[in-house]
Structure 1
């Protein structure tokens, strides 16, 4: 079994959304001070690095992380490459065979330098969600921080995906991943009131 880690590494210099909580890890107890153990303390945004968006993130009436079906985040996933495209629309997926999968992961390579927050990314057009829903897609993953353009306040892609019952995984790392079908595992933490959650996302080669 070959496991491919598609998660961003969390560290104190990981870029976050401008103005959001920066990531911090430090030892609150050291083995020397406590006499027995090291104990770490983490401060972070729920949307740091590789993470899922719960509908509550952009809809006050939407489900929170604890209410989401875990089966969304485990199972066959299709990785497709869609590079050098500013806005992904249905026409860009006419060549894709969706048979046997309900999860799609899109390799855009529009965020190359992950030591810095991007200034522009490949985004999804709102009309892509109903197209994917008709193909049976329930989860979409992207290798960028958002499914919408970075300066969007209306978040049309987020809302269109919600309306079509498609859930969101953002910030995955697909640099060395080839197109094909894999087993995805990207479980969110059981945070009761959360609008999102970091995940350890991996692909298992069949």
Structure 2
């Protein structure tokens, strides 16, 4: 790798958050001139800004972020370019056909979903992003995708009261998903804060499936 590209957004007071999440506030706690050190005070939700979601976000019986293997966050990736879709337009398997075809020829566990909606960051229009349909999510799982990264606020339509996918298929949620035949690792210490914007996708235990999205709580 020749270089790293930082895709994260700055954490600042009043930055966009998912509806209902805590407001982000960054204030000065200590100053060098008065206290000998610079320290900031942060008030924010664990899914503020650029972050990774864990299955625990949508089901308390599922793994927290510290339960997930680091290998899930690195590896070969394929880009699904769906830029040009209208506000709140569903992303269907047809939209993903080029990426799915590439995955068939060159398997990869990570899909980068490029909606172009990062151009609306900081505006009211940011919440009107395209969203992934249950059928598209199932197609990704079938293709072997286990992690999805997205440049929008969610893979679900933001502001919806319910997650849209049917139970037992690819139920729509937020976070990394573990393989159905992988035993759940023992819980370790808490620690699931923002570490990068990723939305993994994998089948759920028991034959169902869930998808990724932003979440809440220090262990999510």
Give the length in aligned residue pairs: 177
C-alpha RMSD of the superposition: 2.8
Change (3 A) 1:158 1:69: farther
Partner of 2:6: 5
Cα deviation, 1:112-141, whole Å, max 9, x if unaligned, reads 221135241110001122211221111011
Partner of 1:102: 109
Distance 1:116 1:90 in 2: 28
CA deviation after TM superposition for structure 1 residue 107, in Å: 0.7
Partner of 2:176: 167
Partner of 1:63: 63
Q: Which has the higher strand share?
A: 1
Q: TM-score, normalised by structure 1?
A: 0.74
Q: TM-score, normalised by structure 2?
A: 0.70
**Matches of residues 1-206 of structure 1 in structure 2 within 5 Å?**
1-34=2-35, 36-85=36-85, 86-96=89-99, 97-98=102-103, 99-117=106-124, 118-156=126-164, 161=170, 167=176, 192=190, 194=192, 197-200=193-196
Higher relative contact order (CA 8 A, sep 6+): 1
Runs ≥4 in structure 1, deviation > 3 angstroms?
157-163
Distance 2:160 2:142 in 1: 26
Change (3 A) 1:66 1:48: same
Distance 1:138 1:15 in 2: 27
Unaligned runs of at least 5 residues, structure 1: 169-189
